[in-house]
Amino acid sequence: MSLSKSWVTSANSADSDFPLNNLPYGVFSTDALDPRCGVAIGDMILDMQMAEDLNIIALGDEPLFDVPFWNEVMEQGPAVWAALRNRLTQLLSQGGREQKMVEQLLVPMADATLHMPLLVSEYTDFYSGRHHATNVGTMFRGAENALPPNWLHIPIGYNGRASSVVVSGTDIRRPWGQLKSPNHDAPAFLPSRRFDLELEMGAIVGMGSEDPITVDEADAAIFGYVLLNDWSARDIQAWEYQPLGPFQAKATATSISPWIVTKAALEPFRTPTPDREFELLEHLKDTGPMLYDIDLKVTLAPAGKEATQIAQTNFKEMYYSAAQQLAHHSTSGCPMNVGDLLGSGTISGPTKPERGSLLELSWGGKEPLTLDTGETRTFLEDGDTLTLQGAAHGEGYKIGFGLCTGTILPALTDPFKR
């Protein structure tokens, strides 16, 4: 598929994250405008609230864009999702007859502040990257026991905190927690010393369900995708995770990119999941290409210094797709809600530069990573800014996600002082 041309000139650049082929959904504000839904096109944002007020966008009898989140649109289902995308494409295509009318609805992205694009109902994080799981398992259990016996049969996950999901650009405070040093018998309550990132993708559920759903039904229920950084306190995690898995180590924050890239925009980039070592049970089997070819990278910038690229990989490295994760999640009868967020799990490739966490890149802190500045890192230091980027590449264009950034703030001096 090649570039679709828009009358918004900046959208026609091969370097733009937001060509007409993309049209991702977000929430923005300016000095003059309260937070409202918007659609990214080139270096501009289409004001959806104003478009609806002027009846340029009309999707039903009731307004959908009088609130600053996309949940109302998600609830309308795939037919409305498709109608909206078709209407936006019509309005913004080169030669469109309504250009002059739509021009008044555009806001420069440089003048906008971006906000959470949705109300997150629930958050579940998975552990579905085989290279990541193998690396971590090898570190802690040895290569012969790297993957638990269930790993190649089901997508493993845990229920996280929707309340701590934040939009890109939100500062991240280093957490306190109970730590256990190998050299001491008793734990201590201290700021995390092994704070880490995890490069992930997030799938947003657009249709709820009360009963188990198939992989195909799950795929149809996904509204779109975001970049996701699952901030992780490795030392808190090491002490708490047995026997029930991660808890406080993962509760500090989860950052997402501000633009929801729709599943429709990613359709040309579908790709198969990896070869299976064991055939999956019937309810989880692949029914076609279930993943997406999305290049991903991570940069780390110490305070006031230039950034270093520390990892580069691809979403197609996942062992389980978001549709398989969602289908598995529903099998117990667990209700799935509009606005549920599913984290993919850390995305790592087979080589060291493709590892999506500092835990892997520094091999548990034993192999410090050297930055372009000459500094080294085993885990994150105060003042570090982490930036996740991702894009699927077509012929003369790309489908980008914008940036997913966060800067580490020092731990509170006294977390209980009021």
Name the helix (H) or strand (E) containing 40. strand 36-41
Specify whether the CB–CB gap between 342 and 124 falls below 8 A: yes
Specify whether the CB–CB gap between 40 and 261 falls below 8 A: no
Three-state DSSP state, 171? coil
Residue type, 149: P
Residue holding tokens 């990892």? 311
Specify whether the CB–CB gap between 248 and 236 falls below 8 A: yes
Residue holding tokens 């190649």? 152
Query: How far is it, in rounded angstroms, from Cα 327 to Cα 218?
Result: 6
Query: How far is it, in rounded angstroms, from Cα 356 to Cα 312?
Result: 8
Three-state DSSP state, 187? coil
Specify whether the CB–CB gap between 121 and 338 falls below 8 A: yes
Backbone angles phi, psi at 225, to 5 degrees: -135, 150
Please indicate whether residue 132 is annotated as part of the active site: yes
Specify whether the CB–CB gap between 402 and 17 falls below 8 A: yes
| Total length of the chain | 418
Residues 6+ apart with CB under 8 A from 268: 1, 392, 394
DSSP conformation letters of 128-165: -BHHHHHHHHHHHH-GGG-S-TTTTTS--EEE--GGGE
- Of 131, 132, 328, 329, the active-site residue reads 132
Residues with active-site annotation: 132
